[in-house]
Chains A and B, each alone.
Chain A
């Protein structure tokens, strides 16, 4: 089942939570809504579920308008950040809840309910906990039960609000890959909200990056990481170095380097910023090795070795700016260069993205 969102807007008092959001979730896809807190991602999810009504815009399921449909009738599975398990019911009854509250005509027989619940508990690998109460379970177990409960009503779409947000790091990683596998088996259209870029990159088929109630970029994890559409996405996803320069008629000058900027042919003497990932910077001890002109001289001020990579903190020689340039090189390359603190090095971006400087 596909989900379509058209021109959604939502205000909370003076705060615009959603501004004209349009989005399509393809059938069977696992989509992440990624953004900082206050970006509107949870509101968007709740509007899709019908827990929140938008001020304007439409929500369509499989092409049919569901905007005014009650949450009960939308057949969505919703998993809450803090699980929202019913504490007065056993795990079994929690999972069975959605089946038991159906109108008599559509309610499965008791035996059938029993079978279905057991099946789901097996699916989340917790069938041995059926008679326990929620408070007797760990956070990770509770979240899996919350998922089983949502799946029990055979939802057409699955919506998860920060599903791993309340868990500790190790459990979060486990559940993440488990959710991915579960999705691969079931192929149910799923949307999950997260503020954790690593989580989104690792689990999702596509990522929607949101900021201040707007969509900044939609794309596969590779696309949003490799080709961020805006400075915001660049800075939100992963580490990035900023180099200041200028743009003029399709050419840009950053430090001593001159590069083509075909997207900016109309620019006339504009201040520009180049965004460069730490691993997209060449480092060498001699300027010549970086073939040609434009290398920036710098000094090594920090060296941090993290597993297979080494992170260097560099200060530029040509500016008073004390801001560090962060560079990531492989351990092998590091050994080859034999760097120590205080060494002079020359650097050159191997890949950069240019954006006109934002005027503040």
Chain B
């Protein structure tokens, strides 16, 4: 820019001094987009493209054949058991950790996060070590004709394991940041424990709770590694949706594999949409509180 001594400087747009030049800005945006396109957008689009490549009829057939339907049922069943259990666990853990001071609290918080850092394969393996034929409880279970591994209970257990932390880790920081004053006020006013929880605590954390539940559900329905180890891949009986995708793919039935995969991709997109909505709600809530 030139420094011409005009009586009034032109209304030209001048960049703020802490902004990058336009070409730098667009280069960075372009680079970021290239990366995201290669690793994110194109894979997502390709799922739907491959699923519909052979037409709608193949697509519909793939997701309505009996094995696919039973896989959907098993996936929904596993999630329907794992999510509520982890919801109760998350609330109990958050209540103890966020509202009380006790020894070993930090250790407990770390332990809750543990399943996140364990490889899914290892998560499945440990249940095989306990309930498998050669496992601790294997002989006893065999005697009583109870099947856990290569059966539905094993799949449910593995699903619970990998989703343990989701709701607790959303609730703990949220409830910690809200402190205990409101609950103590409720105690002073004569409320009992359940009244305090349902009338004071729960309304304050409902969005965080929902947020954690949605993420927990997505993972429960999508888990592959851990479930794969304990399932035994029995078509029509111990196959979840992700495992069904694998089987179809390994049979070179790509169109069907991607058709089933597209269901899971839609689940992911719905999860992300709900997550974004809840986040914006949360931001509005925070703003409301600051006022």
Decide if A and B touch, CB cutoff 8 A: yes
List the interface of chain A (C-beta within 8 A of B): 6-7, 50-58, 64-72
When distances are taken between beta carbons in the complex, the residues of chain B under 8 Å from A50 are 17
| Contact residue among B4, B11, B16, B18 (Cβ-Cβ distance under 8 Å from A65) | B4
- B14 contacts chain A at the CB level, 8 A cutoff: yes
B124 to chain A minimum Cβ distance, whole angstroms, is: 44
A50 to chain B minimum Cβ distance, whole angstroms, is: 6
Of chain B, the residue at the smallest CB distance from A46 is B17
Of chain A, the residue at the smallest CB distance from B3 is A65
B241 to chain A minimum Cβ distance, whole angstroms, is: 48
A51→B17 CA distance, assembly (Å): 6
A103 to chain B minimum Cβ distance, whole angstroms, is: 18
| Contact residue among A66, A67, A72 (Cβ-Cβ distance under 8 Å from B17) | A72
When distances are taken between beta carbons in the complex, the residues of chain A under 8 Å from B17 are 50-51, 70-72
| Contact residue among A56, A67, A71 (Cβ-Cβ distance under 8 Å from B3) | A67
Question: When the two chains form their complex, are residues A58 and B5 in contact, meaning their CB atoms are under 8 A apart?
Answer: yes
Can you list 23 residue pairs at the A/B interface with Cβ under 8 Å? A7-B7, A7-B8, A51-B16, A51-B17, A51-B18, A52-B16, A53-B14, A54-B9, A56-B9, A57-B8, A58-B7, A58-B9, A64-B3, A65-B3, A65-B4, A66-B3, A67-B3, A67-B9, A68-B1, A68-B14, A69-B3, A70-B17, A72-B17
A202→B15 CA distance, assembly (Å): 37
| Contact residue among B3, B8, B11, B16 (Cβ-Cβ distance under 8 Å from A68) | B3
When distances are taken between beta carbons in the complex, the residues of chain B under 8 Å from A57 are 8-9
| Contact residue among A51, A64, A68 (Cβ-Cβ distance under 8 Å from B9) | A68
Q: Which of B3, B7, B9, B18 has the most CB of A within 10 A?
A: B9
A29→B4 CA distance, assembly (Å): 27
List the interface of chain B (C-beta within 8 A of A): 1-9, 11, 14, 16-18
When distances are taken between beta carbons in the complex, the residues of chain A under 8 Å from B7 are 6-7, 58
Beyond the given pairs A51-B18, A57-B9, A68-B14, 19 more chain A to chain B contacts, judged by CB atoms under 8 angstroms and listed by A's residue number, are A6-B7, A50-B17, A51-B17, A53-B14, A53-B16, A54-B9, A55-B11, A56-B11, A57-B8, A58-B5, A58-B6, A58-B7, A64-B3, A65-B3, A67-B3, A67-B9, A68-B3, A70-B17, A71-B17
When distances are taken between beta carbons in the complex, the residues of chain A under 8 Å from B18 are 51
Per DSSP, are chain B's interface residues mostly helix, strand or loop, or mixed? Answer: loop
A61 to chain B minimum Cβ distance, whole angstroms, is: 11
Of chain A, the residue at the smallest CB distance from B15 is A53
When distances are taken between beta carbons in the complex, the residues of chain B under 8 Å from A55 are 11
When distances are taken between beta carbons in the complex, the residues of chain A under 8 Å from B8 are 7, 56-58
When distances are taken between beta carbons in the complex, the residues of chain B under 8 Å from A56 are 8-9, 11
A65→B1 CA distance, assembly (Å): 12
Question: When the two chains form their complex, are residues A65 and B14 in contact, meaning their CB atoms are under 8 A apart?
Answer: no
| Contact residue among A7, A53, A68 (Cβ-Cβ distance under 8 Å from B2) | A68
A143 to chain B minimum Cβ distance, whole angstroms, is: 22
B237 to chain A minimum Cβ distance, whole angstroms, is: 58
A63 to chain B minimum Cβ distance, whole angstroms, is: 10
B91 to chain A minimum Cβ distance, whole angstroms, is: 37
A52→B8 CA distance, assembly (Å): 16
When distances are taken between beta carbons in the complex, the residues of chain A under 8 Å from B11 are 55-56
B280 to chain A minimum Cβ distance, whole angstroms, is: 23
Of chain A, the residue at the smallest CB distance from B18 is A51
When distances are taken between beta carbons in the complex, the residues of chain A under 8 Å from B14 are 53, 68
A292 to chain B minimum Cβ distance, whole angstroms, is: 55
When distances are taken between beta carbons in the complex, the residues of chain A under 8 Å from B4 are 65
Of chain B, the residue at the smallest CB distance from A63 is B5
